[in-house]
Amino acid sequence: MTVWWLFFAVFAVSWVLTLVLRRYALAKSLMDIPNERSSHSIPTPRGGGVAIVVSFLLALPVLGALDLLSLPAMFGLLGSGVLVAIIGFADDHGHIAARWRLLGHFIAAGWALFWVNGLPPIQFFGVMVDLGWFGSLLALLYLVWMLNLYNFMDGIDGLASAEAICVCLGSCVVYGFTGHVELMPPALLLSAAVGGFLCWNFPPARIFMGDAGSGFLGLILGVLSLVAAWASVELLWSWLILLGVFIVDATWTLLRRLLNGDKVYEAHRSHAYQYASRKYGSHKIVTFSIIGINIVWLLPMAVAVAGGHISSVLGTIIAYAPLVMLAALFRAGVRE
């Protein structure tokens, strides 16, 4: 690959844009003010995720021009990413009713699915199953859930950024082991864009990502996983494994809150990672711990599944089992 200059340029643009956005937020008093449901204690500028959005989307056409990204995938990522970022940016600066945000999310996910051709046949315990239109519906729900769960999990310093980088670089390791190096460029591009922002968001954060960045990341990661699925169905399961910490914590918390009769659309701080950050009194410890889980546990499992050393469904269940235990241990979804 001879385009490392592009990734370095994206990293630099993201770093500089985050600095500019931080100064803009301070000048315009666009601050995240702590309240009883916050995981931080001092007012902090927000909206820095726009740097990730701009630096990544501007570089996508370059990948397309260099034949490092198919045109359908590029159009899917561009259109859906722009729409979600606009919705998130508007919500960061005011408030959009949940139903209209959700409608926009479904439209963005539908746009992406149109260009990436929906969900390919999926393998269950060695049997290939073509779900047809139902598979497309599942893929639509999956993208919308990824978008929103990433928003939910962006609650402590550096976590959402570190997770995105771990997942993107982890997917590249998987691609290297399975001979799908052609899928690496967009994942490397996203990790570079997030890396520039993380320099400012690392604990203690000097700026927050905001909905424009977190929702964008969730959607783009979901779309990249579907693009990979068309190259090899095992790669989709590998992506689900790499995203395991966020998927398990967010899903377990949502289900527990539903069972409790809580209003799931209201802000709260009952995710496992939030309980852990309060227990240990440190965002940094939790963020580093999750990075460790990604590298030591989830990445080897993802490689094993992608390489056919263990069945996809069984491998995912095994990968998720300790994450479910951790969610239960840290009382995810339980009212404070």
- Sorted by where each begins, the domain ranges of the chain are 4-329
Residue 215, Ramachandran bin (φ over 0: left; ψ between -120 and 50: alpha; else beta): alpha
Closest CA to 319 of 304, 334, 330, 309: 304
Mean pLDDT of all residues in the chain? 93
**Tokens, residue 269:** 């701080």
Q: What is the pLDDT of residue 93?
A: 77
Cα angle for residues 318, 323, 324 (degrees, 5° grid) = 90
Which residue, among 210, 218, 282, 289, has the nearest Cα to 51 in the 3D structure? 210
Q: What is the pLDDT of residues 55-110, one digit of tens each?
A: 999 999 999 999 999 999 999 999 999 999 999 988 877 778 888 999 999 999 99
pLDDT at 127: 77
Judge whether residue 265 has pLDDT over 90: no
- pTM score of the predicted model: 0.96
Q: Give Cα 76 to chain centroid, integer Å.
A: 17
Cβ 21 vs Cβ 47: under 8 Å? yes
Using one digit for the tens of pLDDT, what is the confidence trace for 23-49?
Answer: 999 998 888 876 655 566 678 898 999
Instruction: For residues 296-314, give the mean pLDDT.
Output: 96
Q: What is the pLDDT of residues 132-176, one digit of tens each?
A: 889 999 999 999 999 999 999 998 999 999 999 999 999 999 999
CB atoms under 10 Å from CB of 329, counted, come to 12
- State the Cα–Cα distance between residues 22 and 20, nearest whole angstrom: 5
What is the token pair recorded at 193? Answer: 């864009």
